[in-house]
Chain A
Amino acid sequence: MREIHVDHIIDALRSLVIKANIELGDDMLNALQDAINREESPTGREVLKNLLDNANIARQDRIPICQDTGLAVVFVEIGQEVHVIGGLIKDAINEGVRQGYKDGYLRMSTCNPFTRKNIGDNTPAVIHFDIVRGDKLKMTFVPKGGGSENMSRATMLTPASGIDGIKKFVIDLVDRAGPNPCPPTIVGVGIGGSIEKAALIAKKAILRPVGSINPDPFLARLEAEWLDDINRLGIGPEGFGGRVTSLAVHINSMPCHIASLPVAVNIQCHASRHMEVEL
């Protein structure tokens, strides 16, 4: 067994929280740059240039890319040879989030759902654990903004709905969301599993690098086709009208019950922030 002390987890996550909110990934910078070349609307091109400026200012001035520094979502992959010592791993993750949000001058955005009173330290984090092979501990931090999360949905279609039914659900959702989730977006789709699993794999889908090809050729074909349809909607950057409404559609799928067809869509805004660390 390899021992990892909770203090190590706290420090690593604290740094990750701050960095992920300030530095937009290279895949997103490249995708926005490419989008400028494809966008037909002059206003849309101007918006895309501003978004790249914004990313550069954030990195240089060490200021968050977006004021919505999100609900703290943490994906943890823990090798089964790892033994966490010094405390509870969940407490360590929440402490890392607490310290990162305070020390990074990030916005505290968690609240009581009934009274709406702010919790004050952006905890609790939404943590998803997965046990994997090996002796490493990997954490992926995703500060997920409310604007794009609010436009996300999960549903249970009938098996008779088929691929066309799934496609209609996804594209209608993006159309109805319009300008609200800060386009150009990344559309994460989860198909199959159960209601909660579909939502989870949809969220995981937004983490795949933008510009990468789905290793499953069937899903890769659907992704290309649906992206093309979405970019005919005319919503454009910030919803002002234009060609580039989404930068990517990412699909994850898994087997489901013979009676069901669960579908979830997780919409990610252009401030697509996520970063990982391996201990």
Chain B
Amino acid sequence: MIDRLENGVFRVETPLSTEDVKTLSAGDRVILYGVIYTARDEAHRRLVGLLQDSNDLPFELRGQVIYYVGPTPARPGRPIGSAGPTTSYRMDPYAPELIAHGLKGMIGKGRRSNAVKDAIKRYKAVYFAALGGAGALISKNILSARVIAYPELGPEAIYRMEVEGLGLVVINDIHGGDLYTDGVKEYRK
């Protein structure tokens, strides 16, 4: 669900619909609420393996948002440790397959491949950047985190996270907009 707030920032609540995704454009500021799932390199490899063998995933992919993060362990009494985004391009070989199966949003940092950008346009999804290297700040927006698959991967396990007010920026939208290209052009001289 998406609401445009008075200051032009979008309040986005998971899960996302195709209609929700159509509203967002590269450069839009977003604050995110709801449940998201974490996955990094090895978890992606396994998820795509499950899809190729027509097996069920550890969570329902349709409309969901995946956050590329490997958090630090939580200190006692806290939901999570430091939890900023990892660089997204490492997930590029797997992301189009997940998008084709209903994934609506990805959160990471850094540029995506053309294949991912094409999948975003074709299947209507969105790629957000969180603030790289700001894991302490971001941890304040994570209410809970629970490992739901692959605990043996340690920090690379799949967590189900509940977030509140997580600040994001739209990088790639369904119209082909790319903030990493458009934003840079404005200041290049």
Mutual binders A and B: yes
- Enumerate chain A interface residues (CB-CB to B < 8 A): 40-41, 43, 47, 50-51, 53-55, 57-58, 61-69, 105-109, 116, 118, 120, 145-147, 150, 178-180, 182, 232-236, 238-243, 269-271
Beyond the given A67-B69, A241-B185, could you list 5 further A-B residue pairs with CB under 8 A, ordered by the A residue number?
Answer: A51-B131, A66-B82, A116-B41, A235-B184, A239-B184
How far apart sit A184 and B169, CA to CA, in the bound complex (Å)? 17
B82 A63 Cβ-Cβ under 8 A: yes
Q: What residues of chain B lie closer than 8 Å to A239, measured between beta carbons?
A: 109-111, 129, 180, 183-184
How far apart sit A92 and B189, CA to CA, in the bound complex (Å)? 51
A64 B134 Cβ-Cβ under 8 A: no
> Which size class do B's interface residues fall under?
35 or more
Which of A55, A63, A179 is within 8 Å of B110, CB to CB?
A179
Q: How far is the CB of A129 from chain B (nearest CB, A)?
A: 29
A271 B183 Cβ-Cβ under 8 A: no
Which of B73, B109, B140 is within 8 Å of A57, CB to CB?
B140
How far apart sit A226 and B169, CA to CA, in the bound complex (Å)? 29
Known contacts A65-B133, A67-B70, A241-B184; is-contact A234 B189 (Cβ 8 Å): yes
Q: How far is the CB of A192 from chain B (nearest CB, A)?
A: 30
A236 B184 Cβ-Cβ under 8 A: yes
Q: How far is the CB of A61 from chain B (nearest CB, A)?
A: 7
Q: What residues of chain B lie closer than 8 Å to A179, measured between beta carbons?
A: 109-111, 129, 132, 180
A54 B183 Cβ-Cβ under 8 A: no
Q: B86 near A: Cβ within 8 Å?
A: yes
A147 B87 Cβ-Cβ under 8 A: yes
B110 A232 Cβ-Cβ under 8 A: no
Known contacts A109-B155, A118-B154; is-contact A234 B187 (Cβ 8 Å): yes
A66 B137 Cβ-Cβ under 8 A: no
Q: What residues of chain A lie closer than 8 Å to B136, measured between beta carbons?
A: 54-55, 57-58, 61, 63-66
A54 B133 Cβ-Cβ under 8 A: yes
**Complex interface bits, B90-124 against A, C-beta within 8 A gives 1, otherwise 0:** 00000000000000000001110000000000000
Known contacts A180-B89, A233-B188, A270-B133; is-contact A238 B155 (Cβ 8 Å): no
Q: How far is the CB of B72 from chain A (nearest CB, A)?
A: 4
Q: Which of A40, A47, A241 has the most CB of B within 10 A?
A: A241
- Enumerate chain B interface residues (CB-CB to A < 8 A): 41-42, 69-75, 81-84, 86-87, 89, 109-111, 129, 131-137, 139-140, 153-156, 167, 169, 179-180, 182-189
A68 B86 Cβ-Cβ under 8 A: yes
Q: What residues of chain A lie closer than 8 Å to B154, measured between beta carbons?
A: 108, 118, 120
B132 A238 Cβ-Cβ under 8 A: yes
A105 B89 Cβ-Cβ under 8 A: no
Q: What residues of chain B lie closer than 8 Å to A51, measured between beta carbons?
A: 131, 133-134
A105 B86 Cβ-Cβ under 8 A: no
A147 B73 Cβ-Cβ under 8 A: no
Q: What residues of chain B lie closer than 8 Å to A150, measured between beta carbons?
A: 87
Q: How far is the CB of A233 from chain B (nearest CB, A)?
A: 6
Q: How far is the CB of A109 from chain B (nearest CB, A)?
A: 7
Q: Which 7 A-B pairs have the closest CB atoms?
A: A241-B183, A234-B188, A234-B187, A180-B110, A58-B136, A182-B132, A67-B135
How far apart sit A107 and B83, CA to CA, in the bound complex (Å)? 10
Q: What residues of chain A lie closer than 8 Å to B156, measured between beta carbons?
A: 118
How far apart sit A250 and B132, CA to CA, in the bound complex (Å)? 23
B133 A64 Cβ-Cβ under 8 A: no
How far apart sit A146 and B68, CA to CA, in the bound complex (Å)? 14
User: Can you list 30 A-B contacts with CB-CB less than 8 angstroms, sorted by A residue number?
Assistant: A43-B169, A50-B167, A54-B134, A57-B140, A62-B75, A63-B136, A65-B135, A66-B136, A67-B69, A67-B155, A68-B70, A105-B74, A107-B82, A107-B155, A118-B155, A147-B86, A147-B110, A178-B180, A179-B111, A179-B180, A233-B184, A234-B183, A238-B131, A239-B110, A239-B111, A239-B180, A240-B183, A241-B185, A269-B132, A271-B133
